[in-house]
Amino acid sequence: MTLEFTTTQATERVTDEQLAKIHEAPGFGRVFTDHMVSIDWTLEDGWKDARVEPYGPLAIDPAHAVLHYGQEIFEGLKAYRHEDGSVWLFRPEENGKRLQRSAVRMALPELPVEDFVEACKQLVRADEHWTPSGHEQSLYIRPFTFGNEVFLGVRAAHSARFMVIASPVGAYFADGVKPVRIWLSEHFNRAGKGGTGSAKTGGNYASSLAPTQEAFANGCSQVLFLSSLGDRHIEELGGMNLVLVKGDGTLVTPESDTILDGITRNSLFELAEHLGHRTEMRPVTIDEWQEGVESGEIVEAFACGTAAVITPISEIVSPDGSFGWPDQEPGEVTMKLRKALTDIQGGRAEDPFGWMVQVTEAKA
Ligand code: PLP
Ligand code: COI
């Protein structure tokens, strides 16, 4: 049975003038909409009390499981405003399914996918006017679940809360689609075999922060992790998947059970095949990448994810030197795929895959 949602309207709401100002330069994840969704879970009763309520601080008990053992999972997806004023989500069921897989790994309860999608829709509808319509803008939706039992024993919490918050966003990187430099983390790994690398859980991001600081200190915007096995296989970036483009248009992305199963990457591969590209999901070493750049076999690379969309990579930088295409404009295939995907998301192109889910009606 699907959950029924109640709504408590926020009394303090953003004014039209304030919202217009926010939409002028939203940045990424700094301002949040007027409402949020919460659904509680207990071991005895399961999921209950689904509600849309005013956005605001939570009362956190100092003994909440999440504060001590990091029992938390999250998702990221976007709502797009189309030219006719309607608002659409991109593949929300895929995020719902992935949140369930993360829940299994982190011993949290699995929210049914229908309830996940409905929760996202409820928030987008409650804060309908918050979805921006500017170039490259969208409403970033952040669903998450955390253990909130008051107990310090190390075992799965017997109570949890699922929430959704939303934030109007522009480009994740301040320079938009300008190619980014990536720092190769030689000492830190993100994930190990049997670990939590394929789950979208806060701890993976916490452990990426020190290497990301190293990246920033070296003039890079993201960190690239290698496999912990010492085999020099490339995995992914701190918050994005990675795709290499060969001269014949073939796309290559690392395959590993220690990385996040990216919805953007999977969608791009489907789209690229539809457009006649070959795709390969297989183990790739950093040496194959470097030698491929030097021989001219690998001609472009990009980062992809919900937040980053598709961002071209200019260089891989490490203490031993760098390689890539420091002086190159964004690659042709990168930009072609970027346009094809963002045109579907923005409603400017047909959606042959049935990826878009409508949330609000066109405006008269
Ligand atoms: N890898 C990591 C570590 C991420 O945080 C993300 C972003 O969610 C991705 C990959 C890309 O996943 P998706 O395309 O589903 O957003
Ligand atoms: C996303 O793309 O949704 C993420 O979670 C990645 C993070 C860098 C914002």
Question: Residue 305 Cα, ligand 2 centroid: separation in angstroms?
Answer: 7
The string over 91-117, giving b where at least 16 C-beta atoms fall within 10 Å of a residue's C-beta and e elsewhere, is bbebbbbbbbebbeebebbbbebebbb
Residue 263 beta carbon below 6 angstroms from any ligand 1 atom: yes
Predicted confidence band at 340 (pLDDT cuts at 50, 70, 90)?
A: very high
Question: Residue 180 Cα, ligand 2 centroid: separation in angstroms?
Answer: 16
Residue nearest to atom 3 of ligand 2 (CA): 76
Predicted confidence band at 34 (pLDDT cuts at 50, 70, 90)?
A: very high
Q: Is the pLDDT of residue 93 over 80?
A: yes
Q: Which is the closest atom of ligand 2 to the Cα of 76? A: 3
Give the residue among 271, 265, 238 at the shortest CA–CA distance from 252. 265
Q: Which is the closest atom of ligand 2 to the Cα of 239? A: 8
Mean pLDDT of 120-138: 97
- 301 HSE (CA, 13 A, CB side): 30
Residue 314 beta carbon below 6 angstroms from any ligand 2 atom: no
Q: Please give the mean pLDDT across all residues of the chain.
A: 96
Res 186: pLDDT: 86
Q: Note the helical H segments in the chain.
A: 16-24, 65-69, 92-105, 113-126, 202-206, 209-217, 263-274, 286-295, 332-345
- Cβ 166 vs Cβ 229: under 8 Å: no
Which residue matches tokens 């053992």?
A: 69
Residue 312 beta carbon below 6 angstroms from any ligand 1 atom: no
Predicted confidence band at 323 (pLDDT cuts at 50, 70, 90)?
A: very high
Predicted confidence band at 176 (pLDDT cuts at 50, 70, 90)?
A: confident
Choose the residue to mutate in 93, 200, 212, 223 for probing ligand 1, maximizing ligand atoms within 8 Å of C-beta: 200
Predicted confidence band at 178 (pLDDT cuts at 50, 70, 90)?
A: confident
Mean pLDDT of 10-25: 96
Res 328: pLDDT: 86
Residue 29 per-residue DSSP state: S
Res 173: pLDDT: 80
Q: Is the pLDDT of residue 290 over 80?
A: yes
Residue nearest to atom 11 of ligand 1 (CA): 305
Q: Is the pLDDT of residue 287 over 80?
A: yes
Q: Is the pLDDT of residue 175 over 80?
A: no
Res 202: pLDDT: 97
The string over 207-238, giving b where at least 16 C-beta atoms fall within 10 Å of a residue's C-beta and e elsewhere, is bbeebbebbeeeebbbbbbbbbeeeebbbbbb
Would you list the DSSP string of 30-49?
Answer: -S--SEEEEEEEETTTEEEE
Mean pLDDT of 139-144: 98
Q: Is the pLDDT of residue 174 over 80?
A: no
Residue 222 beta carbon below 6 angstroms from any ligand 1 atom: no
Q: Is the pLDDT of residue 315 over 80?
A: yes
Question: Residue 236 Cα, ligand 1 centroid: separation in angstroms?
Answer: 9
Residue 92 beta carbon below 6 angstroms from any ligand 2 atom: no
Mean pLDDT of 308-325: 94
| Cα gap 68→154, rounded to integer Å | 9
Q: Is the pLDDT of residue 105 over 90?
A: yes
Mean pLDDT of 256-277: 97
Q: Which is the closest atom of ligand 2 to the Cα of 305? A: 2
Predicted confidence band at 172 (pLDDT cuts at 50, 70, 90)?
A: confident
Q: Is the pLDDT of residue 266 over 80?
A: yes
Question: Residue 96 Cα, ligand 1 centroid: separation in angstroms?
Answer: 14
Question: Residue 248 Cα, ligand 2 centroid: separation in angstroms?
Answer: 30
Res 69: pLDDT: 97
Res 153: pLDDT: 96
Residue nearest to atom 8 of ligand 2 (CA): 239
Res 314: pLDDT: 96
Nearest 5°: phi and psi at 58?
A: -100, 155
* End-to-end Cα, the chain, rounded Å: 35
pLDDT in tens, 206-255: 999 999 999 999 999 999 999 999 999 999 999 999 999 999 999 999 99
Nearest 5°: phi and psi at 129?
A: -70, -10
Residue 201 beta carbon below 6 angstroms from any ligand 2 atom: no
Which residues, in sequence order, are bridge partners of residue 298?
246
Q: Which is the closest atom of ligand 1 to the Cα of 208? A: 3
Longest dimension (CA), the chain: 62
Q: Is the pLDDT of residue 342 over 90?
A: yes
Res 79: pLDDT: 98
Q: Which is the closest atom of ligand 1 to the Cα of 259? A: 1
Residue 303 beta carbon below 6 angstroms from any ligand 1 atom: no
